[in-house]
Amino acid sequence: MALFYSGEGLRAVGKIIYPAISIEKGDMTFLTGPSGCGKSTYLRMLNRTLLPDQGQLFFEGKALPDYDVLSYRRKVLRIPQEPFLFDGSIQDNFNRYYETAGYSVPYADAIKEALELACLPISILTDCATLSGGERQRVFLALFLSFMPQVLLLDEPTAALDETTATLFFTNLKKHCLVHGITPVCICHQADLVKAFADRVICLGGAQ
Amino acid sequence: MNDSILMQIRQFSIIYVLLLLVLLVMKQCHIDRTKQLLFSSFKMTVQLMLAGFILTYIFGSPNGIFTALYLAVMVGFAIHRVLNQNPGLSLRFKVIIALSILVSGLGILAFFVKVVVRESLLNPQYVIPLGGMLLGNTMNSLSLGIKTFRESLSGQRARVEALTCIGAKAENILRPFLLQGMETAMLPTLNNMAGMGIVSLPGMMTGQILAGSNPMTAIFYQISIMIAICTIVTVSSFAALYFGCRTMYSKENQLITL
């Protein structure tokens, strides 16, 4: 049984119509296709932060509305394209995110580990206002990676990173997912990265 | 009222001379607001004279219907002002704001008049001025509170999206914005209370003293009205923002509509 499944004719944001799509457990799946074809929209539907206009999506054989929405989103975690960090240090950000989600604040070691995973081995007390765009994106990625979900949906996670860091990030990510049994689904515009890391590629041709 | 100093129209008119001073300062500073100053002064004079005539008539022939009507106009105007200064809210949010003003306004006014002052709920001499003070403060505070809530939330799409993605409750995501709105709504009243008696003798008390009341009686009234204002501002802003926030998402989907 596929981890995710949606039948042909799934429609969203009024105009995007999708073919039948299935995503297998454990595979590192990449969604590719031209801009505007609905890749990000599909990821949003996958973690139920956007509802389809028509059709249904299924997770482990069960329709998404049958799950409790909050625990489902924690299980199928999407990392948005645009990073958001609060004012304050990296640790403050982890604390604010965890508290808002209703978790107890993470240990310093767990934060450090997440930062290393996101290729940013710096002090957790660093003020986020002093970080560059690429560093902010990596703090944001580290934050989401630390939640240890069952599925990780990544929307252009390396858009603000240079080629070397992007490759290192995907290497770490793939290893991390394999070790912890997490299924990653990524959107990435860099063809060489897709070629190097994808177990499976789903090309959305933009059936509109 | 009988002991109060009756100002003759001629004497009263002399106060307008002060406006010439304002005009002079504005001219020196090149503040081009002459028309606005004259229009506002004129509008205030006409509105208050009109209110004076109406109140004289209502006080002269007390009738519950007139008192209720006057109160209804005050509540309606307060709701209209708050909504007018906060465009772009959903219809459900607007209804919540209107209900918050109506219920908290009338509830606290009724408590004040009936339980504290022990007067009839339709006695115009108490209900109209006290209602005016309570509703006027509610109107100003709530306008500020809702405006702060809206402005602090706008431009926070990335924050709302990120927190929604990690499975945070919509209520938790909106709470910091709600608190910011409430703080802004309450701050002027709290500042006012802290400075009262030292920085200023408040309007109501001044009025009573000028009208010949015992200063201690005026002070008791002033303390009571300040506590009532603080309560009404807190209750109405909490009700408007707390229940208003709930109109921004459905419990089932936990998706916030910005």
What is the per-residue pLDDT across B128-179, written as a single tens digit (0 to 9) for each? 999 999 999 999 999 999 999 999 999 899 999 999 999 999 999 999 999 9
Indicate the residue among B61, B86, B106 that finishes a domain.
Answer: B61
Other beta carbons within 10 angstroms of residue B208's beta carbon come to: 18
Other beta carbons within 10 angstroms of residue B124's beta carbon come to: 23
The predicted structure's pLDDT at residue B200: 63
- In a domain, residue B253? The reply is no
Contacts of B155 in chain A (CB under 8 A): none
The predicted structure's pLDDT at residue B6: 58
User: Is the same domain home to B42 and B99?
Assistant: no
The predicted structure's pLDDT at residue B192: 85
Indicate the residue among B61, B87, B108 that finishes a domain.
Answer: B61
Q: Which amino acid is at A179?
A: V
The predicted structure's pLDDT at residue A54: 94
Pairs across A and B, CB distance < 8 A: 61
Fold designation for A4-203? Rossmann fold (3.40.50)
CA distance B151 to chain A (A): 17
What are the domain boundaries of chain A?
4-203
Question: Model confidence over A128-161: pLDDT tens digits?
Answer: 999 999 999 999 999 999 999 999 999 999 998 9
Distance, in Å, from the CA atom of B28 to the CA atom of A153, rounded to the nearest integer, reads 64
User: Is the same domain home to B56 and B74?
Assistant: no
CB contact under 8 A, B254 and A82: no
Which residue, among A173, A174, A187, A171, has the nearest Cα to A145 in the 3D structure?
A173
Give the lowest-confidence range in A120-124, A169-173, B35-39.
Answer: B35-39
- In a domain, residue B177? The reply is yes
Average pLDDT score, chain A: 94
User: Is the same domain home to B220 and B117?
Assistant: yes
Judge whether B232 and B108 are in contact, CB under 8 Å: yes
Place of tokens 């709470």: B175
- For B168, the closest of A50, A78, A101 (CB atoms) is A101
Question: Model confidence over B206-248: pLDDT tens digits?
Answer: 888 888 888 888 888 889 999 999 999 999 999 999 999 999 9
CB contact under 8 A, B166 and A97: yes
Q: What is the DSSP string of B156-171?
A: -HHHHHHHHHTT--HH
Question: Model confidence over B81-96: pLDDT tens digits?
Answer: 999 989 989 999 999 9
The predicted structure's pLDDT at residue B7: 59
Distance, in Å, from the CA atom of B99 to the CA atom of B240, rounded to the nearest integer, reads 8
* Residue B165 in contact with partner chain A when CB distance is under 8 A: yes
Owning domain of residue B215? 64-246
- In a domain, residue B252? The reply is no
- In a domain, residue B109? The reply is yes
Average pLDDT score, chain B: 90
Indicate the residue among B61, B77, B98 that finishes a domain.
Answer: B61
What Rg do the C-alpha atoms of chain A give, in angstroms?
A: 17
The predicted structure's pLDDT at residue A85: 97
Question: Model confidence over B181-190: pLDDT tens digits?
Answer: 999 999 999 9
User: Is the same domain home to B49 and B103?
Assistant: no
The predicted structure's pLDDT at residue B2: 44
The predicted structure's pLDDT at residue A208: 37
CA B31 to chain centre: 29
Distance, in Å, from the CA atom of A13 to the CA atom of B55, rounded to the nearest integer, reads 58
Distance, in Å, from the CA atom of B143 to the CA atom of B130, rounded to the nearest integer, reads 20
User: What are the Cα distances from residue B119, in Å, to A178, B126, B127?
Assistant: 76, 8, 9
Question: Model confidence over A73-124: pLDDT tens digits?
Answer: 999 999 999 999 999 999 999 999 999 999 999 999 999 999 999 999 999 9
The predicted structure's pLDDT at residue B3: 47
The predicted structure's pLDDT at residue A14: 83
CB contact under 8 A, A70 and B159: no
User: Is the same domain home to B136 and B190?
Assistant: yes
Question: Does residue B4 carry a pLDDT above 80?
Answer: no
User: Is the same domain home to B70 and B43?
Assistant: no
Give the lowest-confidence range in A45-54, B5-14, B85-94, B175-184.
Answer: B5-14
- In a domain, residue B188? The reply is yes
Question: Does residue B110 carry a pLDDT above 60?
Answer: yes
**Virtual torsion, Cα A64, A66, A71, A76, nearest 10 deg:** -20
For residue B12, report the phi and psi dihedrals to the nearest 5 degrees: -60, -40
Distance, in Å, from the CA atom of B141 to the CA atom of B146, rounded to the nearest integer, reads 9
Write down the ipTM of this complex: 0.94
As a whole number, mean pLDDT of residues B24-34 equals 89
The predicted structure's pLDDT at residue B208: 85
Distance, in Å, from the CA atom of A116 to the CA atom of A175, rounded to the nearest integer, reads 13
User: Is the same domain home to B56 and B75?
Assistant: no
Mutate which of A47, A57, A69, A141 to disrupt the B interface (most B C-beta within 10 Å)?
Answer: A69
The predicted structure's pLDDT at residue B71: 94
* Residue B73 in contact with partner chain A when CB distance is under 8 A: no
Query: E-strand spans in A9-143?
Result: 10-12, 16-18, 21-23, 29-32, 57-59, 62-63, 76-79
Contacts of B254 in chain A (CB under 8 A): 69-70
Characterize the bridge pairing of strands A57-59 and A4-6: antiparallel
